[in-house]
Amino acid sequence: MTTSHDQVKFAYWVPNVSGGLVISKIEQRTGWDIDYNRRLAQIAEQAGFDYALSQIRFTAGYGAEFQHEPVAFSHALLAATTKLKVIAALLPGPWNPAVAAKQIATISQLTEGRVAVNIVSGWFRGEFTAIGEPWLDHDERYRRSEEFIRALRGIWTQDNFTFRGDFYRFSDYTLKPKPAYPLPEIFQGGSSRAARDMAARVSDWYFTNGNSVAEIKKQVDDIRAKARANNHSVKIGVNAFAIARDTEAEARAVLDEIIVKADPEAVNAFGHEVKNAGKASPEGQGNWAQSSFEDLVQYNDGFKTNLIGTPEQIAERIVALKEVGVDLVLLGFLHFQEEVEYFGRRVIPLVRALEAKAAVHAQAAE
Ligand SMILES: Cc1cc2nc3c(=O)[nH]c(=O)nc-3n(C[C@H](O)[C@H](O)[C@H](O)COP(=O)(O)O)c2cc1C
């Protein structure tokens, strides 16, 4: 029997930012308002999704004109659900760890420990300039994020917390109340060398952009080897834009339409920003360093994971990701409410069946 522990987890991107998850003029029946999102969260927990991930954006150079703040928004979604865990994005710089630790501890207390955080290190210089935040070099951003994570964890787990970092200082600080159990999980986003090394030292979860199974395997092996050497364990989440339809032809036609109707000006503006961010890491392997125009139409390279086809094809590809060590699939959709429901009804049961079959084979082989 597979236990829930063995099952790949599912998350969806909270559309708390307008414009959906693709930079395209294709019709998207996705709202960014709270009523749409509350309903979506309820559909998602019914459908078997474990997590929802909210986004942080202060400004948008690429069409995402309206952006709700993720901590407040995540709390509203938690208040409307009973099982779903909601991951609130936090951006070191605008957030400092003392405020973040207290905000999240309170939400954790109010929601029986269902809140988590995603520490994003930032890629959008114009956004930092707009809000008067200093813009650090790529690897300095990660050094700050690592201190941020160490500070959060320290505040949440210790009394009389003392920390002397280059970015943050704490002296004999005791947070009361601390978060409820389980403690908020700490996710991070980013694929560069600095991002991976940070994951291998301090994060509970590493989130990466979409990619092929072979490329994801390289990242998983790299991070897990480094984490082992650090006596740390880290779980892996991969982004994907899912287009599940009754036939493969229908799903492919939707992808073609998204690309044909892409907004070239907005995609190129986004590409310009993120290519700078990707190249800025010293080894040049950051997110988006290899992305084509078509890839960039989905903000986080979600087409590359190829969860596009029939429910059966998608389930098999998810299990292939799991086999190389992926623990969670993060999903974006064109029409969120309808497609999250369809995914839960048609795809997740197939994944569970394949997982159960694999577990029986594994037991027989023992
Ligand atoms: C799953 C995921 C979610 C992310 N969410 C956000 C976000 O909400 N806001 C943001 O500004 N950046 C977000 N990022 C961007 C990362 O924090 C990071 O800045 C970016 O991936 C570039 O990192 P790299 O150069 O280390 O690869 C996200 C990245 C991933 C993979």
Other CB atoms within 10 Å distance of the CB of residue 118 = 25
Per-residue pLDDT, 278: 56
Q: Are 81 and 75 in contact (CB under 8 A)?
A: no
Cis peptide before 184 (omega within 30 of 0): no
E strands, the chain, where?
9-13, 51-53, 85-90, 115-119, 161-164, 169-173, 186-189, 205-208, 235-241, 243-244, 308-309, 328-332
pLDDT < 70 positions in the chain = 1-5, 61-62, 275-280, 285, 287
148 lines ligand 1 (CB under 6 A): no
Model confidence, pTM: 0.95
Please report, for the chain, the start and end positions of each structural domain, with discontinuous segments joined by +: 9-365
Per-residue pLDDT, 364: 86
Radius of gyration of the chain (CA): 20
Per-residue pLDDT, 140: 97
Residue with tokens 């125009």: 293
Tell me the C-alpha distance between 352 and 311, whole Å: 12
Tell me: the pLDDT tens digits for 203-257? 999 999 999 999 999 999 999 999 999 999 999 999 999 999 999 999 999 999 9
Annotation: CATH topology of 9-365:
TIM Barrel (3.20.20)
Considering Cα of 113, then 241, then 324, then 280, what sign does the dihedral take?
negative
Query: Is beta strand 51-53 parallel, antiparallel or unpaired with respect to 85-90?
Result: parallel
Tell me the C-alpha distance between 344 and 43, whole Å: 9
E strands, 209-271, where?
235-241, 243-244
319 lines ligand 1 (CB under 6 A): no
48 lines ligand 1 (CB under 6 A): no
Q: Are 280 and 138 in contact (CB under 8 A)?
A: yes
Tell how far the Cα of 175 is from the centroid of ligand 1, in angstroms: 28
User: Closest by alpha carbon to 86, among 9, 185, 203?
Assistant: 185
Per-residue pLDDT, 344: 98
278 lines ligand 1 (CB under 6 A): yes
